[in-house]
Amino acid sequence: MQKQITVTRSSMPDYKQYCKEIKELWKTHWLTNMGKKHKQFQKELEKFCNVPHIVLYTNGHLALENIIIAMNLKKGGEIITTPFTFVSTTHAIVRTGFKPVFCDINATDYTIDVKKIEKLITKKTVAIVPVHVYGNICNIEAIEKIAKKYKLKVIYDAAHTFGETYKGISTANFGDASIFSFHATKVFNTIEGGAVCFSNDKLVQVLNDMKNFGFRNSESVVYIGGNAKMNEFQAIMGICNLKLLKQEIKKRKKVFQYYRERLQNIKGIKLCEEQKNVEYNYGYFPVLFDDYKYTRDEIFEKLKAKSIMTRKYFYPLISDLECYKNLPMVKKHKTPVAKYISERILTLPLYADLSLRDVNKICDIILK
């Protein structure tokens, strides 16, 4: 039986270290509701990201929903985003009562095409939700300029960029807010989890109230909130994994660079160019099969036959999914670049402990 190579594998701390950290919970029986470990993790994250405020969530999706609501945007307004993302991004916009307007991506780093944003802005536009993709960071300066010109809020879906910096600044600090996912498949995980990062002091109380059913205190409910609290076990996993993050990224970088060495300068294979002024977390290795001798789908099947799992990430486009294809509220703007990329992109296995021998095996199958 062939050994299976998964597309990703969760980074985990030393078993004894984690057990040592959670032992205290058996004494206090405080498992959730913003306990000691939750507060410790929050402070450590704020220091790590050098951001004024972080509010922790049970997952990144609810973090995005909550910050959209907390921005107090005009109800029913339009939010410009991209169809080349995980479905959570668009779901959060629609589930909070707003209309997604899809902007195309650029063909270089697959982030939102800033040259096409302005023509999508109308009187109903209230915000922009750009997405950092595969660790590639959006054109921060151009988006900020557009947002100021039209007085729009900017909320970054930064799920792919935890631990990254642009010009020495953590991606937690861009826009009016940035959200992270700490899902098990990410470079940094808290099993499940997420966070909103921002600088506006007024949002701290609002977000903490909203994620706890709207409770301000035991006798006062000020918002129609939900339950999105990160529990103590998640927080402890975060505390432990944060200590390992630098060495995990270092291991990932080694795998990433070896992939590049094997697959660069091959006709029909396109790799993302590394952006200037960006310190990467090496979370993904996307490969575009553009007029290669095999199609993306053929490569996917050839690797799968050898028990190597890859991912068509992101395919289909959000705008092509059943739940959005015929939804009247979704404006039908053409996004040909996103469509083209989605039909040819494949993310290869990448995690800290992936051996270079396995990388060789993967590349040999693709090339030979």
111 and 164 co-located in one domain: yes
How far apart, in whole angstroms, are the C-alpha atoms of residue 245 and residue 265? 31
208 and 72 co-located in one domain: yes
The pLDDT score that the predictor gives to residue 52 is 98
Alpha carbon distances (Å) from 311 to 82, 134, 348, 356: 19, 13, 7, 20
Residue length of the chain: 368
The pLDDT score that the predictor gives to residue 1 is 65
Query: Do residues 240 and 18 make contact, with C-beta atoms less than 8 angstroms apart?
Result: yes
Domain assignment present for 71: yes
Looking at 221, 240, 259, the residue that finishes a domain is 240
26 and 108 co-located in one domain: yes
Residues 6+ apart with CB under 8 A from 20: none
33 and 78 co-located in one domain: yes
212 and 338 co-located in one domain: no
Phi-psi region of 304 (alpha: psi -120 to 50; beta: other; left: phi over 0): alpha
352 and 218 co-located in one domain: no
188 and 228 co-located in one domain: yes
Tokens representing 111? Answer: 């982030």
Domain assignment present for 5: no
Cα of 40 vs its chain's centroid, Å? 23
Q: Round the CA-based radius of gyration of the chain to a whole number and report it.
A: 21
pLDDT in tens, 5-62: 999 999 999 999 999 999 999 999 999 999 999 999 999 999 999 999 999 999 999 9
Phi-psi region of 22 (alpha: psi -120 to 50; beta: other; left: phi over 0): alpha
Ranges of the chain whose pLDDT falls below 70: 1
Which amino acid is it at 218? Answer: S
The pLDDT score that the predictor gives to residue 326 is 81
Domain assignment present for 8: no
104 and 117 co-located in one domain: yes
The pLDDT score that the predictor gives to residue 14 is 96
65 and 198 co-located in one domain: yes
Domain assignment present for 171: yes
Ramachandran angles phi, psi of 287, nearest 5°:
-125, 130
142 and 279 co-located in one domain: no
Helix (H/G/I), strand (E/B), else coil: 7: coil
259 and 233 co-located in one domain: no
228 and 321 co-located in one domain: no
The pLDDT score that the predictor gives to residue 141 is 98
The pLDDT score that the predictor gives to residue 330 is 75
Map 92-123 to HEC letters.
Answer: HHHHCCCEEEECCECCCCCCECHHHCHHHCCC
Q: In DSSP terms, which residues pair with 196 in a beta bridge?
A: 55, 179
Q: What is the CATH number of the domain that holds 293?
A: 3.90.1150.10
Domain assignment present for 349: yes
Strands in 165-166's sheet, in edge-to-edge order, are: 169-170, 165-166, 278-279
Smallest Cα–Cα separation from 156: which of 188, 132, 125, 191? 132
pLDDT in tens, 241-289: 999 999 999 999 999 999 999 999 999 999 999 999 999 999 999 999 9
Domain assignment present for 101: yes
Structural domain count of the chain: 2
Q: What is the CATH number of the domain that holds 113?
A: 3.40.640.10
Domain assignment present for 277: yes
Looking at 202, 222, 240, the residue that finishes a domain is 240
Structural domain harbouring 147: 15-240
Alpha carbon distances (Å) from 70 to 135, 150, 156, 200, 319: 26, 20, 14, 11, 26
Burial class (CB in 10 A: 0-12, 13-18, 19+), 130: buried
Positive/negative CA dihedral, 205, 208, 213, 218: negative
Domain assignment present for 7: no
User: CB neighbours (10 Å) of residue 263?
Assistant: 19
Looking at 197, 225, 240, the residue that finishes a domain is 240
How far apart, in whole angstroms, are the C-alpha atoms of residue 191 and residue 185? 9
